[in-house]
Amino acid sequence: MTTTTGTPTPSQPAGLSPAVSSTSHGRPSLTIITPTISRPTLQPLLTLLAHEMGPHDQHIVIGDGPQPDAASWMPARDERFNYYEHGPTHDFGNSQRDFAIQMARGDFLMFIDDDDAIIPGVLASDIRPALARAPHDCHVFRMRGHPCRRSLMLGDLGGSMLICPNVPSKLGRWTLGHIASTQPTPAMAKLERDMYNYIRDYTFIRATLSCYDFRPIFHDTEMYIVDPANLKARNAAPITP
């Protein structure tokens, strides 16, 4: 595991390069990006990925400012795991995702929040084979606890549902600047800010898919569980490793 608290030098993304590609070692490599504020649910995510990631994969955990707990949870002596800090920016991890993309070296980019859970076994059973069959396309998987319509409309897509090739010229941005609030109360200003950050998630998706003619490959496979700590309240059965 590498830990960097300053400003790291961005690596050159693989972008399905000959060095790390589905043709060179039989399967595409993944960079998984997780912005964090040290939620406890990050620990089981790290444990699961340590067992399920391939040797060419990478998990970037990036703190919204200093996150000593998250840094201490990173698997020791495992160079597939990288910890960085950026901020704090308090914008729901959007700035952290943009920052982490610069260090991504996998063929594909995946995004998962630190309060979500990846379904055990799905990387090997469904995700990686699907990416190998269509290594130059964007893929949209399902999330348990999120609307799962095959639609590109706002509200039907979440950033963690998209897996896209790591081609910098074809990636949108998670951050688009700041909009000053005109709301009369702090509560309404917070609601406006939260809605704006959700739009930024969608803006990244739309900008990225625009480089692929808005034709992602939709899959029925569930990839993540949204906020598993509150799964029971949503009347869904949890999945355990």
| Alpha-helix residue ranges (DSSP H) falling in the chain | 22-25, 42-52, 68-73, 94-101, 122, 128-133, 186-210
Q: What torsion, rounded to 10 degrees, do the Cα atoms 179, 184, 186, 191 define? A: -60
Tokens found for residue 188: 């309404």
Range of weakest confidence among 51-55, 137-141, 203-207, 217-221? 203-207
Name 52's bridge partners. none
Q: What is the pLDDT of residues 46-55, one digit of tens each?
A: 999 999 999 9
Tokens found for residue 216: 């992602």
Query: Closest Cα to residue 72, out of 104, 46, 91, 49?
Result: 46
Tokens found for residue 18: 């000959």
Map out the domains of the chain as residue ranges: 2-228
Given a contact cutoff of 8 angstroms between Cβ atoms, the answer to whether 137 and 217 are in contact is yes
Query: Closest Cα to residue 241, out of 118, 142, 124?
Result: 118
Tokens found for residue 240: 């355990």
Q: What is the pLDDT of residues 99-154, one digit of tens each?
A: 999 999 999 999 999 999 999 999 999 999 999 999 999 999 988 866 666 767 66
Q: Which fold has domain 2-228?
A: Spore Coat Polysaccharide Biosynthesis Protein SpsA; Chain A (3.90.550)
Given a contact cutoff of 8 angstroms between Cβ atoms, the answer to whether 143 and 225 are in contact is yes
Average pLDDT over residues 161-177: 89
CA 229 to chain centre: 19
The reported pLDDT for the residue numbered 11 is 45
CA angle (223 as vertex; 100, 88 as ends), nearest 5: 30
